[in-house]
Structure 1
Amino acid sequence: MNTTTSSEIQKLVSAEEWQLRMDLAACYRLVALHGWSDLVFTHISARVPGPEHHFLINPYGLMFDEITASSLIKVDQDCNKLITSPYPVNPAGFVIHSAVHAARPDIQCVLHTHTRAGIAVSAQKNGVLPISQQSTFVLASLAYHDYEGVAFRDEEKPRLQADMGEANFLMLRNHGLLTVGKTIADAFLSMYTFENACQIQIAAQAGGGELTHVDPRIVEGVGHALKVQTGGLGGAFVWPALIRKLDRVDPSYKQ
Structure 2
Amino acid sequence: MDKLDHWQARVDLACAFRWAARLGLHEAIANHFSLAVSADGRQFLINPYGKHFSEIRASDLILVDADDPSTLDRPDAPDITAWALHGALHRNQPRARCVLHTHSKYATALACLADSRLPPIEQNCMRFFERVAIDEGFDGMGLGDEAERVSRLLDGKPVLLMGNHGVMVAATSVAQAFDDLYYFERACETYMTALATGRPLRIASDEVARKTARQWLEYPDFAEKHFAALRRMLDREEVEYRL
Q: TM-score, normalised by structure 2?
A: 0.91
**The 10-residue stretch of structure 1 (233-242 or 244-253) with the greater mean CA deviation from structure 2:** 233-242
Within the candidate set 86, 95, 112, 1:123 is matched to 112
Q: What number of residue pairs does the alignment pair up?
A: 240
The one-letter code sitting in structure 1 at the alignment partner of 2:33 is I
CA deviation profile, 1:43-79 (whole Å, cap 9, x unmatched): 0000013457211000110101111111101110135
- Correspondence for 2:135: 145
Residue 126 of structure 2: aligned partner: 136
Give the secondary structure class of the aligned counterpart of 2:207.
Answer: helix
Q: Unaligned 5+ residue runs, structure 1?
A: none
Distance 1:107 1:218 in 2: 28
Q: Are residue 78 (structure 1) and residue 67 (structure 2) matched?
A: yes
* Alpha-carbon distance between aligned partners in 2 of 1:248 and 1:86, rounded to the nearest angstrom: 32
- How many angstroms apart in 1 are the aligned matches of 2:68 and 2:119? 37
Aligned equivalent of 2:152: 162
Q: Deviations over 1:11-42 (max 9, x none)?
A: xx2xxx11101111111011111111101000
Return the match for 2:77 from 81, 88, 105.
Answer: 88
CA contact (8 A) 2:96 2:172 kept: yes
Could you tell which deviates more after superposition, 103-112 or 25-34? 103-112
Matched residue of 2:60: which SS? coil
Residue matched to 1:237: 225
Contact 1:103 1:161 in 2 (8 A): yes
Provide, for residues 192-220 of structure 1, a one-character-per-residue CA deviation record: whole Å limited to 9, x for no partner: 11101111111111112111211111222
Question: C-alpha separation between the residues in 2 aligned to 1:130 and 1:115?
Answer: 20
2:141 maps to amino acid: V
Aligned pair partner of 2:216 in 193, 212, 226: 226
CA separation in 1, counterparts of 2:41 and 2:150?
23
CA contact (8 A) 1:43 1:93 kept: yes
Using the alignment, how far apart are the partners of 1:226 and 1:123 within structure 2?
Answer: 27
Distance 1:85 1:69 in 2: 19
Task: Tell me the amino acid that sits aligned with residue 152 of structure 1.
Answer: L
Decide which moves more: 95-104 or 26-35: 95-104
Q: Which one-letter code corresponds to 1:161 in the other structure?
A: S
Matched residues in 2 for 1:171 and 1:114: separation? 10
Shift of 1:129: 2.3
What's the secondary structure of 1:247's corresponding residue? helix
SS in structure 1 of the partner of residue 232 of structure 2: helix
Q: Look up the SS of the partner of 1:164 in the other structure.
A: coil
* Identity level (%): 30
Correspondence for 1:246: 234
Q: Which residue of 1 aligns with 2:92?
A: 103
Alignment of 1:65 with 2:59, yes or no, is no
Q: Which amino acid aligns with 2:181?
A: M
Q: Secondary structure at the match of 2:199?
A: coil
Give unpaired runs (5+ residues) of structure 2.
none
Letter in 2 for 1:216: D
Change (3 A) 1:32 1:239: same
Provide the rounded CA distance (Å) in 1 between the counterparts of 2:3 and 2:15.
Answer: 17
Whole-Å separation in 2 of the counterparts to 1:238 and 1:85? 35
- State the Cα distance separating 1:223 from its structure 2 match: 4.1
Q: Calculate the aligned-residue CA RMSD, in Å.
A: 2.1
| Match for residue 7 of structure 2 among 8, 11, 18 | 18
* Partner secondary structure for residue 152 of structure 2: helix
2:41 and 2:91 in contact (8 A); partners too: no
